Amino acid sequence: MKEISDEELEKEMEKALKEDDSKKDQCGTALPSSKEVGLQRSDA
């Protein structure tokens, strides 16, 4: 695994948060963790 700087990590976190927010807007409900979302997607 390559080293990732704090700055890069923050950018990734922000990106993930924004993606979560857009998903919440569509569903109108808070989502479970990304792991659970991944499981639900594969079941669909």
Looking at the predicted structure, is the pLDDT value of residue 2 above 60?
yes
Q: What is the DSSP string of 1-44?
A: -----HHHHHHHHHHHHHHHHHHHHHHSS----HHHHHHHHHH-
Q: What is the pLDDT of residue 10?
A: 93
pTM for the whole structure: 0.41
pLDDT at 18: 85
Q: What is the structure's pLDDT at 35?
A: 57
